[in-house]
Structure 1
Amino acid sequence: MLTWMDRLARILAALGGAVVFGVALTVTVSVVMRVLGLQGVRGDFELVEMSCVWAAGLFLPLCQLKRGHVMVDLFTNWLAYRVRAVIDWIWLIGFALAWAALCYFTVHGLAEIRAYGDQTMLLSIPVWWAYVPSVLGTGAASLIAFAQATLLPREAVSEVGH
């Protein structure tokens, strides 16, 4: 189970990284063109906006896989390992449900904005395209969190024996 989670999270993060790299190149070219007195890349700020949304959505599964979210364990470090494992399990279920809810509402938002036909001003990029990576990211993060929640009890039992 860990293999598919890791692959999925890394593939989506790599796509997010490629988007960031591509837009960084685009902005660099645009700035150099402006410095040289030429017209910059048309709609470069629209591409930056769109890429930020894409990258944020595509990095979510890797963050969930690595449990990279902010954790405040100031009040739980003194608890027994099993108690902390139960608390972690509850949080994993909470994350999984929250990611699933976000995915559900993002799909509905995508459908509404697509039906509305809204586009960016300069490049006429359909705005609903920005929702696609968020649907992928929140959906994958939800699946990963559910998988982690199913694995955590086994990890807790095996860790106590050591």
Structure 2
Amino acid sequence: MAEKTPSGLTKRGASRPRFAWLYRLCLVAAGAGGLAAFAAALMVTLSVLMRIFGFGGIRGDFEAVELVCAACASLFLPYCQFTKGHVMVDLFTNWLPAAGQRRLDGFWTVLFGLGWSVICWRLTHGLETIHGYGDRTMLLGFPLWLIYLPAVAGTGLSALVAFIIGIDDLVNGRATDPMTEGA
């Protein structure tokens, strides 16, 4: 029986060890994004409380929230890609046998990986461009190019996940869904 995560999902990699490292990497990325979002929420709460009690808010709090949200959003994408959490429409493929459905899913997952790769490439180009400009935020003076780093990492990891899982589905035609035990 495959090992379960706290949410009850079966870890992809518990029954297929070659995916365990990838699962952990996606969890680390999502955890970092979650911690960043939680820190932003705490900062906003503290800033509002400070304003209520007459101490004034935290300088640049809205800038910090924008930066954190931009940074952490793409860190959740690899986990979503890994667990196949994206919206899928299988209305026209239900008649296919299970192996055929998985192979077709693998084909589209590889195409998804190509899409992630293009997004990662363009974000990298944007990072290089904005780094050259030396742009900073107005109040905090934070370098804007640093916000591109988690976005590049998140989309790059999403592409890697999509390629690995998609190719495995194409070649093997078997379940790589973390919700299926003993896949």
Question: Equivalent of 2:105, from 88, 92, 103?
Answer: 88
| Aligned 8 A contact 2:100 2:173 in 1 | no
| Aligned 8 A contact 2:110 2:167 in 1 | no
Structure 1 gaps of 5+ residues are 158-162
Paired-residue identity, %? 46
The root-mean-square deviation of aligned C-alpha atoms, in Å, is: 1.7
Structure 2 CA distance, aligned partners of 1:76 and 1:65? 21
Alignment of 1:90-109 (within 5 A): 90-109=107-126
Q: Does 1:129 align with 2:146?
A: yes
Structure 1 CA distance, aligned partners of 2:148 and 2:50? 31
Structure 2 CA distance, aligned partners of 1:154 and 1:86? 8
Cα distance per residue 1:96-142 (max 9 Å; x no partner):
11111111111110000010111111001111111111100011111
Partner of 2:93: 76
Cα distance per residue 1:133-157 (max 9 Å; x no partner):
1100011111111110232132529
Partner of 2:25: 8
Q: Which TM-score applies when normalising by structure 2? A: 0.82
Tell me the amino acid that sits aligned with residue 49 of structure 2. Answer: V
Structure 2 CA distance, aligned partners of 1:55 and 1:78? 39
Structure 1 CA distance, aligned partners of 2:27 and 2:155? 14
Structure ranking higher in helix proportion = 1
Partner of 2:56: 39
Structure 2 gaps of 5+ residues are 1-17, 176-183
Q: Which TM-score applies when normalising by structure 1? A: 0.92
Q: Does 1:156 align with 2:174?
A: yes
